[in-house]
Amino acid sequence: MDNLQHFRRTDYCGTFTAANVGQEISVCGWVQRQRNLGSLIFVDLRDRTGLLQLAFDDSTPRDLFEKAASLRGEYVIAAKGLVRERESKNPELPTGDIEVKVTELRLLAKAATPPFEIVEHSDVRDAVRLKYRYLDLRRPDMQRTIALRHKIVKICRDYFDENGFLEIETPILTKSTPEGARDYLVPSRVHPGKFYALPQSPQQYKQLLMLSGFDRYFQIARCFRDEDLRADRQPEFTQIDLEMSFLDEEQIQTIQEGFLQRVFQEVLGVEVQTPFQRMPWREAMDRFGSDKPDLRFGFELKDISDLVKDCGFGVFADAVKGGGSVRLINVDGHAKDFPRKKIDKLGEFVKTYQAKGLAWARLLDGKVTSSYQKFLTEEENAAILARAGAKDGDLVLIVGDTKDEVVFAALGALRLECAKQLDILDPKEFRFLWVTEFPMFEWSEEEGRYQAMHHPFTAPMLEDEDKMLTDKANCRARAYDIVLNGTELGGGSIRINTPEMQTKAFEALGISDEDIQERFGHLVNAFQYGAPPHGGLAYGLDRLVMLMTGASSIRDVIAFPKVQNASDLMMNCPDVVDEKQLDDLSIAVTRVEEEPAEEE
Amino acid sequence: MDNLQHFRRTDYCGTFTAANVGQEISVCGWVQRQRNLGSLIFVDLRDRTGLLQLAFDDSTPRDLFEKAASLRGEYVIAAKGLVRERESKNPELPTGDIEVKVTELRLLAKAATPPFEIVEHSDVRDAVRLKYRYLDLRRPDMQRTIALRHKIVKICRDYFDENGFLEIETPILTKSTPEGARDYLVPSRVHPGKFYALPQSPQQYKQLLMLSGFDRYFQIARCFRDEDLRADRQPEFTQIDLEMSFLDEEQIQTIQEGFLQRVFQEVLGVEVQTPFQRMPWREAMDRFGSDKPDLRFGFELKDISDLVKDCGFGVFADAVKGGGSVRLINVDGHAKDFPRKKIDKLGEFVKTYQAKGLAWARLLDGKVTSSYQKFLTEEENAAILARAGAKDGDLVLIVGDTKDEVVFAALGALRLECAKQLDILDPKEFRFLWVTEFPMFEWSEEEGRYQAMHHPFTAPMLEDEDKMLTDKANCRARAYDIVLNGTELGGGSIRINTPEMQTKAFEALGISDEDIQERFGHLVNAFQYGAPPHGGLAYGLDRLVMLMTGASSIRDVIAFPKVQNASDLMMNCPDVVDEKQLDDLSIAVTRVEEEPAEEE
């Protein structure tokens, strides 16, 4: 413990250069390593800006030299000394031309040997990294990522502030929302038997703020979903949440384009062109088999249902007759990159998307080999290749199914898989796209009814309003997603702003009047008092940061993430609690985890 | 529903002036009121910037005029028209020189009659305001407050960003923290029988971030305490949370002074002088009876224990002999403002602070009347008035008790109460103060042991390190509070940064080794790996906004606050949930609220 008056830091380690030679400076940080060459000791001192070499030599007083000799990795020290030119310069290091001839040294804290070395791109396994997250975060790449996240968020706040948005905080202790996922619940002590829910998004609050006349709202909002975690999900995640009044889709999208342009410019130095391309959902599905197409490459889908619906190949004909389709992609110019074995593996790949199999035609050296041609007529075969635009050197991959969704899912994923295997995706290319005109409803096999594709507050397209109750399959919503390189960065919509239309939307979803009042009463009632036309958007901040930093896991862009089973390995939580706490909350545990519980 | 292309807003209502006369504009907003004078209709249109008058007259087409005639309060409309000079100007309104001769009008949403009028400073009762919060927020004063809160937060982020702080998000789903208040718990679905806790503050995370080398951290952090609510408390509240490495108290405080100076300058146009005054806790108690003294006025405390310890007045003598003290304030110059009746009421007032009574001396028109003088000698009486510095026109108020805390609490509150009754507190004067050298420990009657006054991570003062185990009553901490006009805006400390000292601090608090490992294991273990000297601070954002806006309730500075019983009247939460949800979480309700529960 020390008041540090004497060692007030001149500046961070990484900021010194040859221009500082001759100056007396004070620096603080962690010992990256200490090299004792007998009559010379070098210490690499690390702080959040980089490394700086400290030097001790013949002319160093004995006790100071011994102090330096006692330093170990990760010790925390403060040092004072003279900046001088190095004898052997290190061109790899920004401070590699200089070193500090130390005249005073203070040991601020010792350190045990860490469980892994504090270096860039550690290959330590995740469980260890996360248990010792405070050490993992010392690594330069993690430091850079967290600093970059700060910068992205700062630019976001600056931009929206400059554009008249007010940041308004909405509650975390709130009511169950209908986003479809499971809620995290918080038992109320004051109201036994009642619960708060953590918000899945501030959706209803932000709409109420529009009704209040705030006109432009934004918030970097924490959201919660108690879902089974996939690799790119966290139980709590952060959303850039926006809502605007009196604007239409195009105006809302233009504001967002300005934001993305700025953040890519200022953070990555990448010039993004605006306006972004726009594509109706239908077109995205037809051409790319995906509502978030990666536009950095071709291999577009073509429908050949009309060509094969009466053909002799049952797999094709039955798919079409069963109400589905047969479609293909042409991996043009890459037949030679996919020998039979690789094609077989692609066949396995599409099966994970429920496709029953993969048909293919390979055009190489003037010959066509194919898995299906023997079942078809020459004309049919030729028509398919013509539709594919196939020429020598191309590979045509075909999927048919009685369900269109399966065809799209399989070919959409296959298209990406081929691109990945071919390594043709340029990580420095950023292709933004607005996907628009989403379906208002989607059929849920599980529930046996139509559900809201976006959420029940989304407005239908003007020309489709009549279809809300009568032709749900073809009713389109004023919803839009912003997609970057095949990733959905965010999505939003124009909202319903009259109680009549909102009631109709609930009706279309089969929600009873009673349920409406119970679950959405506050919102429907509020809409009676004059709701402006409004719409908004929410970005997944974690995903945006991932894309901008090139991180491969969402865990790498969050300071203190949770693992797949939603636990925090560093804090050891969730954890058991005292009986008294539960009793105060009027709840009891009905089941305990099977692992040996750490009861107090 | 409308795509609004035709009515794209030229600008907000409040932005137009005589300079726009002759221009065609589009505006949108809410009808504040409609006045139909037969051949003329005026509509005051409101948006977040103010009001603008729309005019319809003889030359208005019939159907448009009738549309205008049908408008009611709070209808949402868009209008297009020509800006022209008004016939009768309204100097009270920024846009009072002009009006818009409307040529096109679109009704965007109707509105039912709101339960209260949307005007400044409504006197509607809180329960109604909060149930219809979305309407309450339309009121101009609420709009201003929320906009100002945004501005304060924006300046905060700008300032700390410019000063090298990184905003880093810490988890909301975390582990029980030891701040002393009750935790909100969140049952885990994946780990039956285990719970997350919502953070009372990000204290441990921010210390771990210092250990990670981030050096300067800040966050506008949501915090949660399940306490019985007082008027100025909310179950969730917002903290400006900061932590820094390698700095001492003075450097940390200087950074904060820069922030407060800037936010007061930019938001209120108030020039705050730095450095702020600093005062040890002991002095603050002795002079003002409070650890958050309001320095805008005098009436300082004086100790007269030495003068009365052997006097004939038992109330005084017994207080001193019982280990307490007798102290006074001189409400100088205000004897005439406090006739006997008012003094009697002050006597009642101090009893609410556990004082047994109030002794007083009133010096008016050359005479001294007093409640106690007959029990004392002439010399004793004279000595007391001399110590008080009392002259003709003064009022001396005395409290004695065997417990110093009672004397301080009563006189500290009495001092403020007198100032309030005299109305001598200038709301435009801002007196900042650092209170320093807080006691490390305070005795808890309830628990029968010493507790941490700040929190168990606070470092002792260098010169008091030895007293941690042996002389707890006199061990001072490196803690500091920032006080403004009698309100604690925030507080912080230099933290312990070695495992040895941290273990000693836990020991001093009587926390067992087992408990240390169970509750703070992650932190104590982390400190083995080289923790830099560090310290920080947290401001109560809600309180700062209250002080800067002059709001009288914390509810007025939060968009969606909760009421005293921790419920949200607008959302109707907390609420009952489905049995299935509870079953998924492996919990059961053991008691239900007595009120007629709204079971589904």
Closest alpha carbon within chain A to B50? A213
CA B420 vs CA B258, B297, B333: distances in Å: 30, 11, 15
Give the SS3 label for residue A164.
coil
- Where does a domain end: B359, B390, B422? B422
What was the pLDDT predicted at A1?
A: 41
CATH of the domain at A204: 3.30.930.10
Backbone angles phi and psi of B233, in degrees to 5? -120, 150
Q: Backbone phi, then psi, for A107, in 5-degree steps?
A: -85, 115
State the smallest CA–CA distance between residue B537 and chain A in angstroms: 17
Facing residue for B146 by CB, picked from A78, A166, A224: A166
CB contact (8 A) between residue A597 and residue B521: no
Q: Is residue A132 part of a domain?
A: no
CB A198 to CB B172 under 8 A?
A: yes
Q: How far is B18 from chain A (nearest CA, A)?
A: 23
My answer on whether B553 and B588 are in the same domain is: yes
Q: Which residues of chain B have pLDDT under 70?
A: 1-3, 177-179, 230-231, 595-600
The verdict on whether residue A234 carries a ligand-binding annotation is: yes
A179 labelled binding-site residue = yes
Asked whether residue A390 is domain-assigned, the answer is yes
Q: In the prediction, which pLDDT does B115 show?
A: 94
Three-state secondary structure string covering B260-279: HHHHHHHHHCCCCCCCCEEE
pLDDT of residue A211: 97
Residues of A in contact with B589 (CB under 8 A): 192-193, 586-587
* Same domain membership, residue B302 and residue B374: yes
* Any domain includes A367: yes
Q: What is the mean pLDDT of chain A?
A: 94
| Predicted structure pTM score | 0.95
Q: What is the domain extent for residue B547? A: 147-293+538-600
Show residues of chain A in contact with B498, CB under 8 Å: 1, 109-110
**Same domain as A161, residue A100:** no
Q: In which band, very low, low, confident or very high, does the pLDDT at A600 lie, cut at 50, 70 and 90?
A: very low
A528 vs B578: CA distance, rounded Å = 29
Q: CB B246 to CB A28 under 8 A?
A: yes
The pLDDT value given to residue A179:
52
**B279 shares a domain with B155:** yes
Q: Per residue in A271-311, pLDDT tens?
A: 999 999 999 999 999 999 999 999 999 999 999 999 999 99
Q: Are residues A200 and A270 in the same domain?
A: yes
Which stretch of A14-18, A515-519, B47-51, B98-102 has the lowest confidence by average pLDDT? Answer: A515-519
ipTM of the complex: 0.94
Q: Where are the beta strands (DSSP E) in A409-531?
A: 432-436, 441-444, 449-452, 479-484, 487-494
- Out of B170, B236, B238, whose CB is closest to A173? B236
Confidence grade of residue A597 (pLDDT, cut at 50, 70, 90): very low
CA B258 to chain CA centroid, Å, is: 20
Residues A281, A186: one domain?
yes
Q: For residue A79, what is the domain's CATH number?
A: 2.40.50.140
Predicted confidence at residue B517, as pLDDT, reads 81
Count, residues in chain A: 600
Instruction: Inspect the interface and report whether the beta carbons of B497 and A154 lie closer than 8 Å.
Output: no
Same domain, B47 and B60: yes
Q: Residue B227, annotated ligand binder?
A: yes
Q: What is the pLDDT of residue A231?
A: 65
- Over range A488-498, report the average pLDDT: 96
Measured from the Cβ of residue A251, the count of other Cβ atoms closer than 10 Å reads 16
Identity of the highest mean pLDDT range in A33-47, A176-190, B116-130? A33-47
The answer to whether residues A225 and A357 belong to one domain is no
Torsional sign, CA B226, B228, B230, B231: positive
* Residues of A in Cβ contact (< 8 Å) with B597: 193
Q: Is A227 annotated as a binding residue?
A: yes
> Per the annotation, does A454 bind a ligand?
yes
Q: What is the chain B residue with the closest CA to A541?
A: B169
Cα(B57)–Cα(A240) distance, integer angstroms: 46
Say which residues have a Cβ less than 8 Å from residue A63's Cβ, sequence separation at least 6.
none
Q: Residue B346 maps to which CATH number?
A: 3.30.1360.30
What tens digit of pLDDT does each residue of A239-254 get? 999 999 999 999 999 9
Q: Please tell me whether A378 is known to bind a ligand.
A: no
| For residues A131-152, average pLDDT | 97
Contact B150 A133 (CB under 8 A): no
Residue pair B116/B129 in contact (Cβ under 8 Å)? The answer is: yes
Rg of chain A's alpha carbons, rounded to an integer? 30
The one-letter code for the residue type at A65 is F
Q: How many CB contacts within 8 angstroms connect chain A with chain B? A: 400
Structure token pair of residue A160:
């929206």
B171:A2 CB<8 A: no
In this complex, the residue of A167, A191, A560 whose CB is nearest that of residue B150 is A167
Q: CA of A526: which chain B residue's CA is closest?
A: B134
From the list A30, A208, A532, which residue is nearest B213 (CB)?
A30
pLDDT (tens digit per residue) in A422-481: 999 998 999 999 999 999 999 888 888 888 888 889 999 999 999 999 999 999 999 999
Q: How distant is the Cα of A170 from the closest Cα of chain B, in angstroms? A: 6
Q: Which of A222, A530, A600 sits opposite B75 (nearest CB)?
A: A530
Closest CB to A533: pick one of B2, B238, B245: B2
Flag whether A99 is marked binding: no
Let me know if residue B137 belongs to a domain: no
> Which residues of chain A are within 8 Å of residue B193 when distances are taken between CB atoms?
576, 589, 591-593, 597
Do residues A100 and A151 both lie within one domain? no
Give all strands of the β-sheet with A301-303 in edge-to-edge order: A301-303, A325-331, A395-401, A359-364, A367-370
Annotated binding residue at B332? no
Burial class (CB in 10 A: 0-12, 13-18, 19+), B365: exposed
The pLDDT assigned to A6 comes to 81
Report yes or no on B54 lying in a domain.
yes
% chain A with pLDDT above 90: 85
How far away is chain A from the Cα of B279, in angstroms, using its nearest Cα?
A: 19
Q: Which two tokens stand for residue B465?
A: 């390190």
Q: Which of A109, A136, A160 is the last residue of a domain?
A: A109
Backbone φ/ψ region at A572: left (φ over 0), alpha (ψ -120 to 50), beta? left
Distance CA A360, CA A340 (A): 10
Angle at A203 between CA A202 and CA A207, to 5 degrees: 115
Give the pLDDT mean for A115-134: 91
**Domain boundary residue among A422, A449, A465?**
A422
- pLDDT 10s digits, B207-223: 999 999 999 999 999 99
User: Is B129 inside a domain boundary?
Assistant: no
Buried b (16+ CB within 10 A) or exposed e, A27-38: bbbbbbbbeeee
Taking contacts as CB-CB distances below 8 angstroms, the residues of chain B near A245 are 28
- Are A163 and A287 in a shared domain? yes
Pair B255, B381 in one domain:
no
- What residue in B sits closest to A210 (Cα-Cα)? B134
Please report how the helices A499-508 and A513-526 are oriented relative to each other, as an axis angle in degrees rounded to 10: 150
The verdict on B42 and B157 lying in the same domain is no
- A41, A46, A50, A51 alpha-carbon torsion, rounded to 10°: 0
One DSSP character per residue, B521-549 reads: HHHHHHTTBTPPPEEEEEEEHHHHHHHHH
- pLDDT at position A599 over 90: no
Place of tokens 């999927």: A399
B134, with CB counted inside 10 A (0-12, 13-18, 19+), is: buried
Nearest CA in chain A to B204: A571
Q: Which pair of structure tokens corresponds to residue A102? A: 């130390």
Closest partner CB to B497 (pick from A109, A224, A560): A109
The total number of structural domains in chain B stands at 3
Q: Which of A224, A572, A575 sits opposite B195 (nearest CB)?
A: A575
Is A262 flagged in the annotation as binding? no
- For the segment A549-576, the average pLDDT, to the nearest whole number, is 93
Closest CA to B242 of B258, B226, B225: B258
Residues of A with Cβ-Cβ distance to B236 under 8 angstroms = 171-173
- Ligand-binding annotation for A585, yes or no, is no
**What is d(CA B170, CA B219) in angstroms, rounded to the nearest whole number?**
8
Q: Which residues pair with B77 in a beta bridge?
A: B29, B107
CA distance B191 to A592: 8
Q: Which residue(s) pair with B370 in the sheet?
A: B361
User: Would strands B441-444 and B534-540 be described as parallel, antiparallel, or unpaired?
Assistant: unpaired
For residue A183, tell me if it sits in a domain: yes
A256 pLDDT higher than 80 = yes
Identify whether B501 is part of a domain: no
Confidence band, pLDDT 50/70/90 cuts, at residue A177: low
